Amino acid sequence: MITTYAPGRAELLGNHTDYNEGLVLSLAISYGTTISADANDAGEINLYAREFDRHWSGKLDNLAPQGRETWANYILGVVAQLRRRGVTVSGFDAEISSTIPIGAGLSSSASLEIATALTVQKLFPYEMSRLDLARVGQAAEHTYAGVKCGLLDQISVALSKQNHATYIDCRAFEISHLPLGADVEFVIAHSGVKHALTAGEYNERRESCEAAARLLGVKALRDVTASGLEAARAKLPGRVYKRAAHVVGENERVTRARDLLANNKMKEFGALMFESHESSIHNFENSCEELDFLVGEARKSPACLGARLSGGGFGGATINLVRRKDADPFCASLSAAYEQQYGKRPLILKTEACAAAE
């Protein structure tokens, strides 16, 4: 029996920049997916998802996306993608358990994908870089889950470093790690709501960004500066302009944030997180009332240096940068305020910046 663990991730800054060949800062969180597995001789994949108490079984030679047991798609998709790349995979039995809340935008799916790729690697050894493992996870998501995601989630899960933020250049695929000061901590506040069919909204946002790049005559929005975008504004329909403004602004914020982090200027870093959320509200329109409430409440607290939605949006969670010594009262008051407004508590999770999957 082998065991594999992969964390989830939180996006610190750089929202919807990854598929625009842009820049992101992220971290791996203290919640993740564990897979325990054994090889079998039957050429079968037998899966059990402990949290859902669901089973899935099928022949390895007959893999296809599942309409019912959709959780299995992330595993089957990875196996299919590994085989496409020439990896020899035999039958295996696996039990999956996860501490990542589903639908929170904390990459439970990428965590499951990378945990699967590493499980297969331990059972049936093959050579592959961590970046290519991330690409396998992304391809699984495209083909088996129908989400045209970038590589932020899978790279964060596969390549993060403890006590560091991960900086990802999604064009050169250069990845580096920046130390985080010990006096700050991250708090995730999960609203518990999901307002949109995420795949549809997500893919639609991606199309708008690609349309903007086409109309501006560049390969990707990575190639556009804020002043360049203003100068060419007339070329873009209003909505497409706003989508592009978000991505261009996020890339510039990540660049500034990277320098601030290197100089431990966390208050200024946090201010960029608040700016990012504002841009999500007004430009990318991927926030929602509950997330805006959580960020608005966080902003009132001197303990909180910055807050924003994290991940795709349309619900899910916010990430808060908080002074460590004040984190507990901050969590309590954020939770109480949300309960007073919506009649239910949000899920509040404190997290460290964690190591990559192993």
Between CA 114 and CA 158 the distance in angstroms is 7
Classify residue 76 by burial, with Cβ atoms within 10 Å: 0-12, 13-18, 19+: buried
Task: Tell me the β-bridge partners of 45.
Answer: 58, 92
79-82, long-range: CB within 8 Å, 24+ apart, which pairs? 79/45, 79/116, 79/120, 80/140, 80/143, 80/144, 81/136, 81/139, 81/140, 81/143, 82/117, 82/120, 82/126, 82/136
Binding mask 303-322 for ligand GLA (x = CB under 6 A): --------xx----------
Binding piece for ligand GLA, criterion CB under 6 A, among 8-16, 209-217, 228-236, 314-322: 8-16
Residue the block writes with tokens 């989630």: 153
Q: Residue 352 in contact with residue 191, Cβ under 8 Å?
A: no
Backbone angles phi, psi at 286, to 5 degrees: -120, 20
Between CA 113 and CA 133 the distance in angstroms is 9
The crossing angle, in degrees rounded to 10, of helices 130-140 and 73-84 is 120
Q: Which of 4, 15, 119, 301 binds ligand GLA (CB under 6 A)?
A: 15
Q: Which of 6, 12, 16, 307 binds ligand GLA (CB under 6 A)?
A: 16
Q: Is 21 in the site for ligand GLA (CB under 6 A)?
A: no
Q: Residue 61 in contact with residue 290, Cβ under 8 Å?
A: no
Task: Tell me the β-bridge partners of 58.
Answer: 45
Q: Is 346 in the site for ligand GLA (CB under 6 A)?
A: no
> Which strand (E) or helix (H) includes residue 160?
none
Least separation in angstroms between CB 152 and ligand GLA: 4
Closest CA to 53 of 71, 73, 26: 71
Between CA 159 and CA 146 the distance in angstroms is 24
Question: Residue of minimal CB distance from ligand GLA?
Answer: 149
Least separation in angstroms between CB 70 and ligand GLA: 16
- Annotated catalytic residue within 93, 153, 169, 328: 153
Binding piece for ligand GLA, criterion CB under 6 A, among 15-23, 31-39, 120-128, 167-175: 15-23
Complex with ligand GLA: residue 150 or 192, whichever CB lies closer: 150
Complex with ligand GLA: residue 15 or 301, whichever CB lies closer: 15
Binding piece for ligand GLA, criterion CB under 6 A, among 10-18, 162-170, 211-219, 337-345: 10-18
Q: Which of 4, 7, 11, 248 binds ligand GLA (CB under 6 A)?
A: 11
> Which strand (E) or helix (H) includes residue 256?
helix 238-262
Complex with ligand GLA: residue 34 or 203, whichever CB lies closer: 203
Binding mask 130-159 for ligand GLA (x = CB under 6 A): -------------------xx-xx------
Residue 153 is a catalytic residue: yes
Least separation in angstroms between CB 105 and ligand GLA: 6
Binding piece for ligand GLA, criterion CB under 6 A, among 9-17, 157-165, 216-224, 346-354: 9-17
Least separation in angstroms between CB 138 and ligand GLA: 8
How many residues line the site for ligand GLA (CB under 6 A)?
11
Complex with ligand GLA: residue 106 or 224, whichever CB lies closer: 106
Q: Is 113 in the site for ligand GLA (CB under 6 A)?
A: no
Least separation in angstroms between CB 269 and ligand GLA: 18
Pairing of β 184-194 and β 304-309:
unpaired
Catalytic residues, by residue number, are 153
Contacting residues toward ligand GLA, per CB under 6 A: 11, 15-16, 18-19, 149-150, 152-153, 311-312
